[in-house]
Amino acid sequence: MVTYTVHEPPHAGSDRVDRGVDLEFVKDGFSWLTAICPPLGLLANGLWLFTIAYLVGAVLLAWALAALKLGPQMTGFVFLLINIYLGFEVSTLKRWMLERTGWQALGVVTGKSIAECERRFFESWLPAQPIIAAETAGPMGTSVPPVAPRRGSRFWPFSARH
Phi, then psi, of 154 in degrees rounded to 5: -65, -25
Per-residue pLDDT for 130 more than 70?
no
Among the residue ranges 5-19, 71-85, 96-110, the one predicted with the least confidence is: 5-19
Confidence of residue 128 (pLDDT cuts 50, 70, 90): confident
Rounded Cα distance, 154 and 79, in Å = 28
Per-residue pLDDT for 162 more than 60?
no
Per-residue pLDDT for 157 more than 70?
no
Q: What is the pTM of this model?
A: 0.72
Which helix (H) or strand (E) segment holds residue 108: the answer is strand 104-111
Give the residue with greater pLDDT, 119 vs 136: 119
